[in-house]
Amino acid sequence: MNPKTIHIILAFIIFFSGFFLRVGNYNLSSPNKSIYYDEMGLQYFQESDSYYNYRLTNNLLDHGHLGDKVIDGRSWDLHSYYPPGVPVDYPPLLPHIAVGFYLILNLIGSVSLKEACLWLPTIISPLAGIIGFLFSRRISGEFGGFITGMLIVTAPLYVFRTNFGFFDTDMLNIIFPLLIVWLLFEAENAKTRRYKIILAGCSGFFLFLFSFAWNGWIYYFYIIIAALIYNLIKERNFDMILPFILISIPLIGIFNILGFYSIILTPTQLGYFPGQENVWYPWPDSYKNVAELQKPTMETFITIISPLIL
């Protein structure tokens, strides 16, 4: 069989394995089925953050920006921190992707914005498995790449946070790091200086996009910069670090000024990492009440690892 055909078949298996795992809670049926559906007959989102993201997405579609109104030239969220509201500083990429997905779907049918948002994670998140497959096969061959892709799309925690109706940034938090590191890997192994520079620059561009997707992008930035500096010291070669920095940092500085400030200010805030005293004490401590910020137990760690790892 043609190698390209094999690649396509394996990529389809990975994608649809991830897709069907994530639609298991679609069209829920139970004696109390009505409690899972709203007045329009659509299922409720899976958690509260999805409603926040949906509200911002609806604002973007309705009047072109994420906030409820513009105050003094800034998009303003009147629902958060009610009644005065706050300026919108939320990463905007997910709402833009959702609106684009909604507009594409409505070229071929009639779909509501909420329906598009309910389905979006089931389409986006399996793409991480395909990226993992393409990346890993460069190192460990077809079989290793296939196993990598399957491990990604079947990881229990990733499935749980990207299933039907979980409209949150988690669907993007694996895709972008994989793309960024994969492109740097390809740059490191490029046969010509031209391709090395182009691939490193593309990696920097995807880091720029990642800064619009999730606030945690900044930690990947520091890790990658540290690795590139180590590589520079070891090989005395600027072909990777310069394109990466010259593409990512100027774009972030021009189009994402809050992200640019994060590059500068985050090192001064390391004292507020988990385990430190709550700076808002005696207010509720988010490190104790928010699941994502709690210290995992060994039982939790084992539970969220994909069974395929065994």
Express each pLDDT in 32-41 by its tens digit: 777 888 888 8
Cβ-in-10-Å burial (0-12, 13-18, 19+) of 183 comes to: buried
- For residue 38, the number of C-alpha atoms closer than 13 Å in the C-beta half-sphere is 11
CA distance 35 to 91: 31
% of the chain with per-residue pLDDT over 90 = 66
Residues 6+ apart with CB under 8 A from 191: none
Residue 214 tokens read as 């999730």
| Rounded average pLDDT over 201-222 | 95
pLDDT at position 306 is 58
Q: What is the model's pTM?
A: 0.87
CA distance 125 to 117: 13
Instruction: Write the DSSP symbol of residue 75.
Output: E
pLDDT at position 102 is 98
CA distance 162 to 287: 22
Q: Residue 3: in which H helix or E strand, if any?
A: helix 3-22
The closest alpha carbon to 201, from 214, 212, 190, 215, belongs to 190
Domain ranges of the chain: 32-123, 173-270
Question: Which amino acid, residue 154?
Answer: T
- For residue 297, the number of C-alpha atoms closer than 13 Å in the C-beta half-sphere is 3
pLDDT band at residue 267, thresholds of 50, 70 and 90?
confident
